[in-house]
Structure 1
Amino acid sequence: MSNNAINSLGARHISLFVPELLSGLRFLKDIPKQEIPNLSALQLILSRAITHNDGFDNYYRATCELTGILVSNKKDIPVSGIAIASEKNISAETNSDFYMFAEPVVMQVDRDSVVLVNSLQTDLCDAESTQLIDEINQHFIDEPWTLNLSKNGAWYLNSEINYSLSTTNISTVLLKNTQPYLPRGDDDKYWRKIINEIEMLMFASEVNVKRLENNKLAVSSLWLWGAGKIPKITKKNINNDVLVGDNKFLQSASQLLDIPYKSLNKNKQLLKNSTIFDKFNNIFMVNIQLSECWQQHDLYEWLNILKILEIELFSPIVNNLRKGKIRSLSLYQNQKETFEINRRQANSWWKPVKTLVSLSSKL
């Protein structure tokens, strides 16, 4: 749904993005029928909603485009710039630097591929990260960029040079051959050379030697992603009154937009008691739990999380739709279909609610 369409909906509209929402449906035929849950609220939404082919490939782009953060369709989503702007309380008006995450990772080299096995960003202690970053900065002291450690432990580069580079977010590349996802653009040869040198530095680093001695994984490379400048914010383009979810990027986006952020984990009754609908008209929500488990290709865990979302997310939304507390819902996922449903459609009792298996054959 377009930004103008969202703004025209009036009171109490929810835009909900749930990546990998439908990814497991096509595999349901392979498991016993008695193990397939009845998710009446989600099934009602998928059965009675109007569908559009205007989905998003990832929640970074969905968050930016649906909330009013202006980004180019042809360039990276500047995830790093948004995160650093939030942390340092800076904006595009006061800072024009180029930012890019440089996430410490483990690579596995096979005969004809290099697989990104794991990120070590949360596994490294601050002392280890600081020492490794210092070693890299010292080695590249004459280069026009600096490697930094954010308050939440993220590694990022910043430079006054606006590099021409297209990168891929790390969640897309995890457990895959990295070759199709390497940085591309006018400056890609420069950065590939830099990364090759960093890999040699990491091999000899005292930090990695000690980690291996203690049976811990060693940093073998850095994965560059989320490149770009801090995006400009125009108040007239902001589409929402509040952002709801439980991930750092959404929280950073709310600070950049200067609108409230609510955590669902800390407010389990937020949707059930309906108070949020008395305070806010246009609500943007993100839940990435299905995406996190689907990266491990675990169908049963995907189903378990779907059952939790049925209780905590879809059932309260459908109940409030039927009561008129919510006027309409736009349900997005990382495939082409978007589902639009309003109160009248939710209450269309004569329209049958399909089972998950029957829905899987239609989607």
Structure 2
Amino acid sequence: MSMQLTLLIPGLLPVWETADGLLKPPQPHAPALRRLLRRSQVTAGSGSLERALFRLFGWQGDGEPPVAAVTARADGLDAACWMRADPVHLIADLHGVRLLDATVLQPESIEARQFAEAFDRTYAPEGLQLLTPHPARWYLRLGQPPRMQTTALPAALGRDIRTLLPVGDDASVWNGRATEVQMLFYDQPANIERERRRQPIVSGLWFWGAGAQPDALQAPACALYADEITARGLARCSASACNPQPATWQALQEAAGDEAAVCVVLDGLRHCEGSEDIGGWQLAVEALERDWFAPLAAALGRRQLTRLTLDTGGETYSVAAADLWKFWRRGPAACRRFSG
């Protein structure tokens, strides 16, 4: 049986900004990816991995999806109104304040508990408690979502946060708390020890993804393969399956069997974009070329695949088996970012 395959692959087409403008990254050697993009039809993307996943599970809301309530379930917390309050490292320079996340911090569980205890001593009188079920994902339980728009942490990575802070009726309260937390955390014993070990300190918390679990989530119409926390949380909330992410196209074939529609989350490039790891991004793309894009192009040619869709967040690229032979297509500008 032939398959229709969607790859959710944030970070495939990163935009790196410098003080002098956009940075032109090197061209990874990815001839199969270049060919797939050249033959594809381009439409507007989902906007973010989180939004794409929520849409996959039937969410029709506007604005920012309530990521915290969903990931909280995957992290073993109960159904409630939650907001993510994730640990971040802030870097101030002449051009602004950039944000790095737990991928760089690598906090340990005992450190997370120490920061949570310090937070609770200050904010317990306000009814706030910081929960750290995972070293990289911290939460605040709320009575109701704050009236403000926030920026998802993955979208803020590596960027100047001054234009990404919460806005709305309750924003001044939470922006004030964010500043207070920076001062509170600065001289905590855990940070002093991190400095002694020459590790980046936990500068503060990034508030985002607030809300309660949506009522209308439903199982997706395709088989889902992902290790990513939002995907796992959505599957748990909808009582549906989320299979482990396969490492290669061959592994997916063996796992999926006769599935007609499949969606795979490949999010390994995402943090390369946020941390400006250009060398790591190039190597990761070339690994995806070997493990995914080259065999997928061959599978389209043999019609094992009827359609391949690449959702990069910003744009979606869709190519059918018959499109591979449309040599007159020059393709979108994205295909020229890869050599081969």
Range into which the TM-score falls when normalised by the shorter chain: 0.7 to 0.9
The aligned residue for residue 173 of structure 2 is: 190
The aligned residue for residue 104 of structure 1 is: 87
Residue 263 (structure 2) pairs with residue 263 (structure 1): no
Partner of 1:191, secondary structure, is: helix
The aligned residue for residue 306 of structure 1 is: 285
Matches for 1:345-360 after TM superposition, within 5 Å: 345-346=323-324, 348=325, 351=327, 359-360=335-336
Deviation for aligned residue 1:88: 2.9
Residue 44 (structure 2) pairs with residue 61 (structure 1): no
Equivalent of 1:220, from 195, 203, 207? 203
The aligned residue for residue 42 of structure 1 is: 33
Partner of 1:62, secondary structure, is: helix
Q: State the alpha-carbon separation in 2 of the partners of residues 50 and 358 from structure 1.
A: 12
User: What RMSD, in angstroms, separates the aligned Cα atoms of the two structures?
Assistant: 3.2
Matches for 1:11-160 after TM superposition, within 5 Å: 12-23=3-14, 37=29, 39-52=30-43, 54-65=44-55, 67-74=56-63, 76-88=64-76, 90=78, 95=79, 97-110=80-93, 113-119=96-102, 123-151=106-134, 153-160=136-143
The aligned residue for residue 4 of structure 1 is: none
Shift of the 317–276 alpha-carbon distance from structure 1 to 2, 3 Å rule, reads: farther
Counterpart AA for 1:240: A
Report percent identity of matched pairs: 21
The aligned residue for residue 341 of structure 1 is: 319
Counterpart AA for 2:230: F
Deviation for aligned residue 1:185: 1.8
Shift of the 48–191 alpha-carbon distance from structure 1 to 2, 3 Å rule, reads: same
Counterpart AA for 2:224: L
> Do 2:217 and 2:237's aligned partners in 1 also have CA atoms closer than 8 Å?
no
Per-residue CA shift, 1:265-318, capped at 9, x if unaligned?
3x67324xx334534222111212233223344544433222211121122322
Shift of the 189–71 alpha-carbon distance from structure 1 to 2, 3 Å rule, reads: farther
The aligned residue for residue 241 of structure 1 is: 222
Equivalent of 2:161, from 178, 181, 192? 178
Q: How many residues get paired?
A: 331
Partner of 1:141, secondary structure, is: helix
Deviation for aligned residue 1:192: 1.7
Per-residue CA shift, 1:309-357, capped at 9, x if unaligned?
112112232233333332222221132x3222222223x2x62686999
Shift of the 11–254 alpha-carbon distance from structure 1 to 2, 3 Å rule, reads: farther
Q: State the alpha-carbon separation in 2 of the partners of residues 81 and 241 from structure 1.
A: 23
> Do 2:35 and 2:335's aligned partners in 1 also have CA atoms closer than 8 Å?
no
Shift of the 123–340 alpha-carbon distance from structure 1 to 2, 3 Å rule, reads: closer
Deviation for aligned residue 1:55: 0.8
Deviation for aligned residue 1:127: 1.8
The aligned residue for residue 316 of structure 1 is: 295
> Do 1:146 and 1:159's aligned partners in 2 also have CA atoms closer than 8 Å?
no
> Given the two structures, how large is their TM-score scaled by the length of structure 1?
0.78
Partner of 1:45, secondary structure, is: helix
> Do 2:11 and 2:272's aligned partners in 1 also have CA atoms closer than 8 Å?
no
> Do 1:18 and 1:286's aligned partners in 2 also have CA atoms closer than 8 Å?
yes
Q: State the alpha-carbon separation in 2 of the partners of residues 251 and 332 from structure 1.
A: 19
Q: State the alpha-carbon separation in 2 of the partners of residues 164 and 109 from structure 1.
A: 28
Q: State the alpha-carbon separation in 1 of the partners of residues 279 and 95 from structure 2.
A: 32
Gaps of 5+ in 1: 1-9
Shift of the 135–334 alpha-carbon distance from structure 1 to 2, 3 Å rule, reads: same
> Do 2:186 and 2:203's aligned partners in 1 also have CA atoms closer than 8 Å?
yes
Q: State the alpha-carbon separation in 1 of the partners of residues 139 and 319 from structure 2.
A: 40
Per-residue CA shift, 1:157-202, capped at 9, x if unaligned?
1112222121112232233321101112221111122222222221
Shift of the 143–46 alpha-carbon distance from structure 1 to 2, 3 Å rule, reads: same
Larger Rg: 1
Shift of the 356–311 alpha-carbon distance from structure 1 to 2, 3 Å rule, reads: farther
> Given the two structures, how large is their TM-score scaled by the length of structure 2?
0.83
Per-residue CA shift, 1:195-225, capped at 9, x if unaligned?
2222222134233233334433332211112
Deviation for aligned residue 1:358: 9.3
Counterpart AA for 1:259: A
Partner of 1:285, secondary structure, is: strand
Partner of 1:249, secondary structure, is: helix
The aligned residue for residue 284 of structure 1 is: 263
Per-residue CA shift, 1:95-138, capped at 9, x if unaligned?
3x321111122223457843325547852222221122112112
Shift of the 210–342 alpha-carbon distance from structure 1 to 2, 3 Å rule, reads: closer
Deviation for aligned residue 1:86: 2.3
